[in-house]
Amino acid sequence: MSRSRIPLPMWEVTLDKHVVPPRWFIPYRVVTVPAVDETAACLRVIRWAHSDALVPPWKPYTRHSMRFATAKRTDAVPDLAAPASDRQLELRAAA
């Protein structure tokens, strides 16, 4: 099996401090991870946090913690459809 040459995008995941019933406290953390999409990045960080807090890896606990997780891409791909800035237009005109 060959490995993909395209690197996975990086996501900055923020997991807010919360409680997983009945007794586990999950601390606040911000982690940058490679993942295919936002959901995969959040799930990876939630699993790490649950492992650190000794939470069993059950889906109801993971779903509960998804409400407290957010992810944003850190290696943003430039939008080709975005309008050019004035400085870019000046440079193009001068060339």
Q: What is the mean pLDDT of each run of 10 residues along the chain (95 residues)?
A: 75 96 94 94 96 94 96 70 57 60
Rounded Cα distance between 25 and 95, Å, is: 59
61 CB neighbour count, 10 Å cutoff: 18
Q: Which domain holds residue 46?
A: 10-77
- pLDDT for the residue numbered 8: 87
48 located within any domain: yes
- pLDDT for the residue numbered 90: 62
Count up the domains in the chain and report the number. Answer: 1
87 located within any domain: no
- pLDDT for the residue numbered 78: 46
- pLDDT for the residue numbered 95: 57
